Every structure is written in structure tokens, then in C-alpha cells.
């Protein structure tokens, strides 16, 4: 079996943050969040990395990343998520600038990523334990029984929210260590110390220990092919309703495959705190977290 690969999704526009947050430094040495993820991934065993980016950010992105990757024991590839990567017969709606979503981003990896792979967001910090767990799963995954076997590293929702505004999370239901359902909630926030999600104008509370996906998945190439097969159906259903902002979500495809009995997903519970920069105001918290990690010896000063 081929060695597991790491796929890093970095094509997001960063609209709420107000800039190209994927390459914004978070410490005095100019490290960015991706540097910490790659450091943890290499420690776990990953050596092949594919970045998903947009062509329009490639020059700025690579100006930073190429320097940061010098001397690292990794093989790097780039895949481009573009609006016009559509099935034959479909066109980009006039005025649309928003990417098609995380499942579409991964679909763009068809033909490039051909081994079991972990997928993460470029602007999220997951912690070393997460990479170790997912690498071990991917190193032993076997689909010879005709079923897709995936994994997800889950985080407690209280460790993933921000006081600065609402966030999107995949809220998970699970039984006996296996995922049974995942629902994408696009408006999760904190009010008076309570965590809630809003849908149709109604606030519904969530328990702090509720398990959510932060888009750290262990998948196989079978998932990429399923995305290709399902994308046209998604467009047929969604474009008439929301042509400018509809998104083809990674967890949605996962849920469909579980429901059809084609896949199972092992939940790898991770009690570590997640860090990310959704809003500009989140950056100070992230910078302080990495300063503390270095004081505690979790990471060297420079790497």
C-alpha cells in the first residue's frame, strides 16, 4: 500500500478575516499556522503534501511557502481549485466569485492524490496528537472488503468556538466509535457563555462536549471519485436556489455515503484545543497559544 499523503486546503478566500490569512505569521520567527501543521505531520510520518490553492493566490502563497519548505523532508504538489472546474454542460453563474466548497476542492485532486490521505484546512491548528492518530489509521486502512473505510478526528465544540462571531462546524452523531451522521451548521456562536447554533432564526443550544469536525479527515481515493460522481447532482439541486453561494461540502458527501451503506467513518476523539483565525481578532489568541507551546517545549523556537 502507498504511504499516506497529506492534503492541505488553502483555496478559501478568507473573506471574514479580510486578507490572505493562510500566510499570515503567528510568531516572532515568521512561522504561519501551516508550518506547525507540517511540523506535526512530518513527526507523524507524512512525507507527501498536496496544497489546494487558487491560481490567483499562487504567487503570494508560494513566495512564502517555498521558503518555509526548504530543507524539509517532503515532496510537494499543487492542485488548483477554480470556479470553471465544472462538469460538461455547466457554466459559472454570472457574478459568482465564491469557491464551490470543500468537496469540490478535493475533487480537483483526482489524478494527483492516489494514496490514502489526510485532509486539513490551511488556517487551522490541530495539534500533534491528531496527526499521529490519523497517520496510524491511514497506514492500516484496507478496502478490499468492498466498503470505503474513512476516519475523522473529532474535537469538542467548546474547544473550537470564537467570541468574535459565528463559525461553521460539522456537528457529529456517533455510536460505538463510528460516525452515524454529520450535519453542517453554518452559524455556531457563543452568547452569555452558552454555545448555540442558529437555523431559520431560531437559536438551539449545544452541549460543550458535542463532537464536531474541523475538517481533519482520513480518506482514500474512493472519496475523490464519489465527489466527481455527485457534483453534477449537487449543481442541479443547488444552483436554482442559491447560485452565488451554494457550496459542495466535504461532510455532506460523507453523510450520503454513510446513509447509502457505502462507507463507514471511525471517530478519533481528540480532546486537544483547536486554534484558528476565522476573524482578525482571533489572531492574538493564536499567537499567545504558540508562545505558550514553545515555553512548554511542545515546539522549538525555530524549525
Q: Could you read off the pLDDT of 80-97 as tens digits, one per residue?
A: 999 999 999 999 999 999
Is 263 among the domain residues? yes
pLDDT-derived band at 65, boundaries 50, 70, 90: confident
Is 181 among the domain residues? no
Q: Where are the beta strands (DSSP E) in the chain?
A: 5-9, 48-53, 75-80, 117-121, 124-125, 148-156, 167-175, 178-191, 194-199, 202-205, 211-219, 263-270, 275-276
> Cell digits for 82?
477554480
Is 87 among the domain residues? yes
pLDDT-derived band at 16, boundaries 50, 70, 90: very low
pLDDT-derived band at 137, boundaries 50, 70, 90: very high
Report yes or no: 151 and 130 within 8 Å, Cβ to Cβ.
Answer: no
Is 302 among the domain residues? no
| Residue 145, helix vs strand vs coil | coil
Mean pLDDT of 18-24: 57
Q: What is the pLDDT of residue 37?
A: 95
pLDDT(108) > 60:
yes
pLDDT(19) > 70:
no
Q: What is the pLDDT of residue 266?
A: 97
How many independent structural domains does the chain possess?
A: 1
CA–CA separation, 227 vs 211, rounded Å?
A: 24
Is 244 among the domain residues? yes
Instruction: State what percent of residues in the chain have pLDDT above 90.
Output: 71
Q: Which domain holds residue 282?
A: 5-152+212-295
CATH number at residue 121: 3.90.550.10
Q: Give pLDDT tens digits for 175-204.
A: 999 999 888 888 999 988 899 999 888 999
pLDDT(22) > 70:
no
Q: Give the CA angle between residues 142, 152, 230 to the nearest 5°.
A: 80
Q: Give pLDDT tens digits for 244-288.
A: 999 999 989 999 999 999 999 999 989 889 998 777 888 889 999
Is 83 among the domain residues? yes
C-alpha distances in angstroms, 279 versus 192, 197, 254, 257? 20, 18, 28, 33
DSSP bridge partners of 49? 6, 76
CA–CA separation, 100 vs 52, rounded Å?
A: 13
* Residue 204 phi, psi (nearest 5): -120, 125
Is 267 among the domain residues? yes
Q: Give pLDDT tens digits for 209-218.
A: 999 999 899 9
DSSP bridge partners of 194? 191
Residues 6+ apart with CB under 8 A from 108: 52, 79, 80, 81, 82, 85
Q: What is the pLDDT of residue 12?
A: 66
pLDDT(51) > 60:
yes
The chain-wide mean pLDDT, for the chain, equals: 91
pLDDT-derived band at 17, boundaries 50, 70, 90: very low
Mean pLDDT of 12-32: 67
pLDDT(1) > 90:
no
Is 127 among the domain residues? yes
pLDDT-derived band at 13, boundaries 50, 70, 90: very low
Q: Give the CA angle between residues 142, 105, 211 to the nearest 5°.
A: 65
Q: Give pLDDT tens digits for 229-253.
A: 999 999 999 999 999 999 999 989 9
pLDDT(153) > 90:
yes
Residue 57 gets which letter from DSSP? G
The percent of the chain in helix, strand and coil, each rounded to the nearest 5, is 30, 30, 40
How many other CB atoms are there within 10 angstroms of residue 138's CB atom?
Answer: 27
Q: Which of 38-42, 66-70, 140-144 has the lowest mean pLDDT?
A: 66-70
Q: What is the pLDDT of residue 95?
A: 96
Q: What is the pLDDT of residue 235?
A: 98
Residues 6+ apart with CB under 8 A from 296: none
pTM of model > 0.75: yes
Amino acid at each position: 500500500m502507498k504511504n499516506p499523503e497529506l492534503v492541505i486546503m488553502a483555496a478559501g478566500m478568507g473573506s471574514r478575516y479580510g486578507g490572505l490569512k493562510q500566510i499570515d505569521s503567528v510568531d516572532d520567527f515568521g512561522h504561519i499556522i501551516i508550518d506547525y501543521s507540517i511540523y506535526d505531520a512530518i513527526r507523524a510520518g507524512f512525507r507527501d503534501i498536496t496544497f489546494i490553492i487558487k491560481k490567483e493566490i499562487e504567487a503570494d502563497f508560494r513566495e512564502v511557502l517555498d521558503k518555509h519548505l526548504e530543507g524539509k523532508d517532503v515532496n510537494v504538489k499543487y492542485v488548483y481549485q477554480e470556479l470553471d472546474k465544472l462538469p460538461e454542460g455547466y457554466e459559472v453563474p454570472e457574478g459568482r466569485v465564491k469557491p464551490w466548497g470543500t468537496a469540490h476542492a478535493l475533487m480537483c485532486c483526482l489524478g494527483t492524490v492516489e494514496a490514502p490521505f489526510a485532509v486539513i484546512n490551511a488556517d487551522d491548528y490541530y495539534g500533534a496528537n491528531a496527526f499521529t492518530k490519523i497517520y496510524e489509521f491511514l497506514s492500516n486502512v484496507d478496502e478490499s472488503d468492498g466498503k470505503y473505510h474513512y476516519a475523522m478526528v473529532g474535537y469538542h465544540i467548546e474547544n473550537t468556538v470564537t467570541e468574535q462571531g459565528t463559525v461553521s462546524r460539522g456537528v457529529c452523531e456517533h455510536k460505538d466509535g463510528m460516525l452515524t451522521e454529520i450535519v453542517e451548521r453554518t452559524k455556531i456562536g457563543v452568547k452569555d457563555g452558552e454555545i448555540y447554533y442558529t437555523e431559520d432564526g431560531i437559536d438551539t443550544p449545544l452541549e460543550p462536549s458535542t463532537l464536531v469536525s474541523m475538517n481533519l479527515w482520513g480518506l482514500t481515493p474512493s472519496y475523490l471519485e464519489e465527489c466527481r460522481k455527485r457534483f453534477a447532482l449537487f449543481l442541479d439541486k443547488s444552483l436554482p436556489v442559491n447560485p452565488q453561494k451554494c457550496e459542495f461540502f466535504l461532510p455532506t458527501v460523507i453523510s450520503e455515503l454513510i446513509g447509502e451503506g457505502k462507507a463507514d467513518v471511525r471517530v478519533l476523539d481528540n480532546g486537544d484545543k483547536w486554534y484558528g483565525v476565522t476573524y482578525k481578532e482571533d489572531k492574538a489568541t493564536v499567537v499567545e497559544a504558540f508562545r505558550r507551546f514553545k515555553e512548554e517545549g511542545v515546539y522549538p523556537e525555530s524549525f
